[in-house]
Amino acid sequence: MEIKVLRDILEHDGEFARRTREDLRGRGVLCLNLIGAPGSGKTTMLRSLIALASDRLRFGVIIGDIASQLDAERFSPLGIPVVQLNTGGACHLSARLTRRGFEALASNELDVVMVENVGNLACPAEFDLGEDAKLSMVSVAEGHDKPVKYPLLFHQAAAHILSKTDLDPFVDFDRDQYYAALNATGHRAPVFPICAKTGEGLDAVIDWIAGMLDAKRKGREPGLRPEA
Amino acid sequence: MEIKVLRDILEHDGEFARRTREDLRGRGVLCLNLIGAPGSGKTTMLRSLIALASDRLRFGVIIGDIASQLDAERFSPLGIPVVQLNTGGACHLSARLTRRGFEALASNELDVVMVENVGNLACPAEFDLGEDAKLSMVSVAEGHDKPVKYPLLFHQAAAHILSKTDLDPFVDFDRDQYYAALNATGHRAPVFPICAKTGEGLDAVIDWIAGMLDAKRKGREPGLRPEA
């Protein structure tokens, strides 16, 4: 009985994800679902990346938080469309709630919608929002063992962002161990070390996003790698 | 119908929490539930703190992770009893699962059991495991806005650990804003800035824990502050 109830909820949410995916395909818009721990630097990276890519790609942003509008406010200097979603307690975005974000963005001509999920490495990985791909984000301040502890996200992600590389000299992050932990999840995705403060590494992420968008518009579903 | 099913599950888990609380009271053991984001430094702090306090307090540790035994292995040099619990996907410990950890520790004479919850600022705050108090942990690398975004944990916690203060010169953490955000949650708990690498600030945490234990053993339930 309990299982049935839970399945109904998930199937219902999956229907919202399917509709979102269909709409985005029709409009040729790429959607990426960014998942990282609290404080991994999701908002800071998105701001820097979108500013750097402003001559190439038109971005919209959907931000999920349990509470507050803080992150959405941080985008206002960029003059791009941003929607803040508050889950009111839930530790991840649902497809149903996220769809309201897409609807709020629908009047804008966009190339890419970045969804910044609630800060959490666990639950957001379990929910399909209708996105083309999930991105993992880990800061070097968090330690290299995260893929071992949260394998589902790292197994699924189509790209991995390794953030705050400016802190490398001051923390014990071991990149070899991080790569080994990633490989143990069976992932097949590129890793992008970045520093959002200096902009280091962001060009490579932008190129990757542009490649994913191009693949989608040419009718090739984005896979784990845009050139696949 | 769905609400009823969910309530049954929570009530059932609450029964495990009640039994654990009763057992711990009977044995005069203090239990603290440490909740922080992935990579906030929970394991590193516990190792340093337990080593520093080894002449004063007998610790046992219960560690929750979705997968892996990594954290439990990190305690082996200390020679204290440690139980690793794997949730197999769930983003928080339940009282039912944690009770198995307490049972595994039951043959040891202990003063304090530290529960290190799954790395997550959201869901673990919603579950009573039978502990005397919850502790929040945020590293300065995560940013000062965490209490605004995850208010439930910070409202509830009986003490707040602010970790990785050695990174202060290299990050934009604003302590005044952190305190303002904490105050907005209506909390009434002390804040302990610490650096587990150097041991700075850990003595104050140990004194606080000892005060909580003393209050419990004198029949005063630990409240938000041991002297309350």
Distance CA A86, CA A89 (A): 8
Predicted confidence band at B10 (pLDDT cuts at 50, 70, 90)? low
Residue A115 region, left (φ>0) first, then alpha (ψ -120 to 50), else beta? beta
Share of chain A above pLDDT 70, in %: 92
Q: Give the three-class secondary structure for A86.
A: strand
Residues of A in contact with B122 (CB under 8 A): 66, 89-91, 118, 120
- Provide the strand spans (E) within B30-182: 30-36, 59-65, 82-86, 112-116, 133-139, 159-163
Q: How many helices (H) does chain A have, and how many strands (E)?
A: 8, 7
Instruction: Round to whole Å and give the CA distance between A100 and A89.
Output: 17
The answer to whether B111 and B213 are in contact (CB under 8 A) is: yes
The answer for A220, left when phi > 0, alpha when psi is -120 to 50, beta otherwise, is beta
pLDDT per position as a tens digit, A124-181: 999 999 999 999 999 999 999 999 999 999 999 999 999 999 999 999 999 999 999 9
DSSP characters for A130-199?
S-SEEEEEEEGGG-TTHHHHSHHHHHH-SEEEEE-GGGGGGS---HHHHHHHHHHTT----EEE-BTTTT
- What is the distance of C-alpha A71 from the center of its chain? 15
Rounded-to-integer distance, Cα A70 and Cα B6, Å: 31
As a whole number, the mean pLDDT across chain B is: 92
Find how far residue B63's CA is from the centre of its chain: 10
Residue that wins the pLDDT comparison between B86 and B10: B86
What is the model's pLDDT at position A117?
98
| Cβ of residue B146 closer than 8 Å to a chain A Cβ | yes
**A50-55 average pLDDT score:** 97
Average pLDDT over residues B70-88: 94
pLDDT at B12: 86
Q: Where are the beta strands (DSSP E) in A3-51?
A: 30-36
How much is the ipTM here? Answer: 0.87
Q: Which residues pair with B61 in a beta bridge?
A: B82, B114
Is A91 in the B-facing interface, judged by CB distances under 8 Å? yes
- Angle CA(A165)–CA(A137)–CA(A82) in degrees, nearest 5? 110
In sign, the C-alpha dihedral spanning A49, A71, B39, B54 is positive
Mean pLDDT of all residues in B176-183: 97
Question: Residue A195: beta bridge partners?
Answer: A200
The tokens for A58 are 């038109």
> Within an 8 Å CB–CB cutoff, is residue A3 touching chain B?
no
The structural domains of chain B, ordered by start, are 2-217 (3.40.50.300)
Asked if A94 and A33 touch (Cβ cutoff 8 Å), the reply is no
Q: Which of A108-112, B135-139, B217-221 has the lowest mean pLDDT?
A: B217-221
Cβ pairs A/B, distance under 8 A: 116
Judged by CB atoms closer than 8 Å, whether chains meet at B164 and A146 is answered as no
In this complex, is the C-beta atom of B150 within 8 Å of any C-beta atom belonging to chain A? yes
Q: How far apart are the CA of B39 and the nearest CA of chain A, in angstroms?
A: 4
Instruction: Write the CA distances from B49 to A89, A181, B113, integer angstroms.
Output: 32, 28, 13
Chain B touched by A150 (CB under 8 Å): yes
Compute the distance between CA of residue A201 and CA of residue B122 in angstroms, rounded to an integer: 31
Query: Which chain B residue has its CA at the smallest distance from A167's CA?
Result: B170
pLDDT digits (tens, 9 = 90+) for A10-41: 678 999 999 999 999 999 999 999 999 999 99
Q: How far apart are CA A188 and CA A59, in angstroms?
A: 26
User: Which residues are within 8 A (CB) of A183 and not within 5 positions of it... i.e. 6 or more apart?
Assistant: none
Among partner residues A91, A146, A151, which is closest to B38 by beta-carbon distance?
Answer: A146
Number of CB atoms found within 10 A of residue B26's CB: 8
* pLDDT of the residue at B220: 77
Residues of B in contact with A39 (CB under 8 A): 37, 138-139, 141-143, 146
Rounded to whole angstroms, the Cα distance separating B125 from B135 reads: 10
pLDDT bin (cut points 50, 70, 90) of residue B73 is very high
Are A42 and A121 within 8 A, CB to CB?
no
| B118-129 tens-digit pLDDT | 999 999 999 999
Tell me the helices (H) and strands (E) count for chain B, helix number first: 8, 7
The conformation of residue B126, written as its DSSP 8-state character, comes to: G
Please give the single-letter amino acid code of residue A198.
Answer: T
How far apart are the CA of A128 and the nearest CA of chain B, in angstroms?
Answer: 16
Distance of alpha carbon A12 from alpha carbon A19, whole angstroms: 11
